[in-house]
Amino acid sequence: MKKLLLIISVLFAASLAFNACEENPLPSENTTEVKGFTAITTNIPALYVGDSQEIKFKLEPSDANTALLNWVSLNENTATVKSGWVTGVAPGTTEIRAYLMSSVDKHVATIVDTLAKIPVTVKGVSATAAEIYISTTGPKLTSLNIFKNKVTDELHFGVKPLNATVKTATWTTSDKTKAVFQITKKDKDGKETKEEVETLTKASSAVVKALLPGTVTITATAEDGSGKSSSITLNIENVDEIDLWTTDVAGTMPIIGGDNPDIKAEGEHFISYSKGVASWPANTTGIPRSDTLVIPTSNSKIVVTQIEAKDFAGSWNFTAKTFAPNANLGVSAGNATVKALTIATKAGQTANDGSKNVTNNLTIAGMINTYVAEAVADIDYDNKTFRFGIFFDGAKAQAVNTGKSGYGYITLLPELGSGWGSYNFCPVPFNDGTNKGWLWFKTDSYNKFHYGRSDWQKCDGKDILGLAFCACKSATPAKSDYASTNAASGYDVIYQCNVNTKDDQPFFIERQ
């Protein structure tokens, strides 16, 4: 037998395994020389990943020392070999070689001859079935209910047989507008971020985020080319997002909550929740109030705002620049804060605001002397807005001591001008029974309203620059009472929209 003088390094020689063939089960102490070797197994064409197969062979003599045989795989990433048994590692091809060694020394050995070269093809184990499940001990999942904007528990992909080569899947959603996959990423500092993707690949598990109500099919397909897949039906339930404006009375409303909801209230915390129903008590605070209740298990939310005109009754402050002061009316010149302004509930005057008729439900006392102005808190429960206004009426005056002979009445009219800087302090032509209207204040909050330059309204083509209290001869004023030619005697007090002499600053009505 031809001898080769190649010396194998210590490391390589130590890695070689010695075969104990079933046909040659002699112990390594045997010193019988190998005279001949015949490979019975000359090719392994179909070895599956994870499976093992023995290479059959015969020795001459039959009692030759098998410890002198060494087995080597040219690619151990595909298959390994030990004592003549080949085990598949990954799909691919390799070659198993049998060498005759000069000794059984595990540290240094000489290859005497190459006895066999056996090609091996390793095949993957294809999936024969696939399933989606939530826990490793749970059954196959076919459907799942979830609320909008929530995420599922981790969904796992499993295949049969258990030794299937590829255990990952491509995950898809039948409607990306209703459901997507949520993945977690970490930056270089280890901080986690959430990202939404429409498809997952090479994934053995997935987390699904529900976006819109409806039914979506989530499918996981094995990535071994077998075509085996599993699907679940994701039933996405809607959530309640309620913004309700109501009166001060107690009330209830059904709201989606889910099981054992973790209730979180914001604001004044007057909303409660039990068994699918949100409840709130009557508002006895005397002011408007709003509260938000969020149910994290379903992302449902209800906002309840309790508001009525009577909630604006009480003591307020009025701040404005004063022009044409009047001692009899207790009004001084310059910047003024009229304290103890009183708003009370009372119905009375009606006028059209340009789109609808509005009737007052409030009155204001304290702007000057005993004069009472009609006011309104106009609440739109459907559109969830409200506004505050003061009523003008040039055809009706109240008896007040103006300090001017023959002028014993006062009425509230708009101060008109053509923009700030070209004002003329004249209330004309707002001076007959057809000219009635509301001056609408901007609502800053439930406790503060203002009227100013950026909010000016128009009257007969002119800007309303402020509030003018005009002296009149009777309770039913004539046009001459307000004529520009009579301005010196007709005017008394004007509240201008330029607090602190700045023409871009409004005047305010604020709750004390």
Domain ranges of the chain: 7-123, 129-237, 241-307, 311-511
The residue assigned the tokens 């402050």 is 317
Could you identify the residue written with the tokens 């203002």? 450
pLDDT confidence band for 252 (50 / 70 / 90): very high
Q: Across residues 324-338, what is the average pLDDT?
A: 81
Q: Flag whether the pTM goes above 0.75.
A: no
Strand, coil or helix: 156:
strand
First and final CA of the chain: distance in angstroms?
115
Q: What share of the chain is helix, strand, coil (3-state, %, to 5)?
A: 5, 55, 40
Q: CB–CB of 110/101 below 8 Å?
A: yes
Q: Is the pLDDT of residue 54 over 60?
A: yes
210 in Cβ contact with 150 (< 8 Å)? yes
Structure tokens at 102: 């000069």
> What is the residue whose two structure tokens read 């409840």?
279
Residue 12 pLDDT level (bands cut at 50, 70, 90): very low
Cα dist. 411→11, 334, 427, 493 in Å? Answer: 112, 22, 11, 11
Structure-block tokens of residue 376: 């309104």
244, burial (CB in 10 Å: exposed 0-12, middle 13-18, buried 19+): middle
Return the top range by mean pLDDT from 372-381, 420-429, 437-446. Answer: 372-381
Residue predicted with more confidence, 469 or 335:
469
**Contact 365/393 with Cβ under 8 angstroms?**
no
**Residue 313's Cα: distance from chain center in Å?**
39
Average pLDDT of 197-206? 95
* Pick from 62, 74, 69: nearest CA to 24: 62
Mean pLDDT of 417-436: 61
Strand order in the sheet with 129-133: 129-133, 155-160, 205-206
Sheet strands (E) in 35-108: 36-39, 44-48, 52-54, 57-60, 69-73, 79-82, 85-88, 92-101
Same fold, 7-123 and 241-307: yes
Question: For residues 45 and 86, what is the distance between their CA atoms, to the nearest angstrom?
Answer: 12
Worst-scoring range by mean pLDDT, 25-29, 229-233, 359-363? 25-29
Domain 129-237 has CATH 2.20.25.10: no
What token pair was written down for 431? 């001076």
Higher pLDDT, 411 or 233: 233
Identity of residue 74:
L
What is the structure's pLDDT at 22? 36
d(CA 77, CA 315): 87
Pairing mode, strands 241-246 and 300-306? parallel
- The reported pLDDT for the residue numbered 329 is 87
Most confident region among 42-51, 374-383, 474-483, 484-493 by mean pLDDT: 374-383
156: β partners: 133, 205
- Highest average pLDDT, of 237-251, 351-365, 429-443, 453-467, comes from 237-251
Instruction: Say which residue, 455 or 173, is predicted with more confidence.
Output: 173
The chain-wide mean pLDDT, for the chain, equals 85
Please check whether residue 141 is in contact with residue 233, taking contact to mean a CB–CB distance below 8 angstroms. Answer: no
Rounded Cα gap, residues 497 and 95, in angstroms: 97
Distance from C-alpha of 144 to C-alpha of 483, rounded to nearest angstrom: 78
User: Given this model, what pLDDT does residue 390 score?
Assistant: 94
What are the tokens at 377? 């808190």
Are the C-beta atoms of 307 and 379 separated by less than 8 Å? yes
| High-pLDDT (> 90) share of the chain, % | 51
Mean pLDDT, residues 88-105 taken together = 90
Query: How far is Cα of residue 294 from the mean position of the Cα atoms in its chain?
Result: 13
Phi, psi of 501, rounded to the nearest 5 degrees: 65, 10
Instruction: Identify the band that residue 23 occupies on the pLDDT scale cut at 50, 70 and 90.
Output: very low
The tokens describing 482, both together, are 């307000």
**Tokens 């063939």 sit on residue:** 21
Question: Is 427's pLDDT higher than 80?
Answer: no
Q: Which residue has the tokens 């095949």?
A: 123
Q: State the pLDDT at residue 7.
A: 31
Peptide bond into 161 cis (omega under 30): yes
- What is the rounded CA–CA span in Å between residue 325 and residue 365? 18
Which CATH fold would you assign to the domain 7-123?
A: Immunoglobulin-like (2.60.40)
For the cut 80, the answer to whether the pLDDT of residue 349 exceeds it is yes
Mean pLDDT of 369-383: 94
The mean pLDDT value for 250-272 works out to: 85
Helices first, then strands: H and E counts in the chain:
2, 45
Class level of CATH domain 241-307: mainly beta
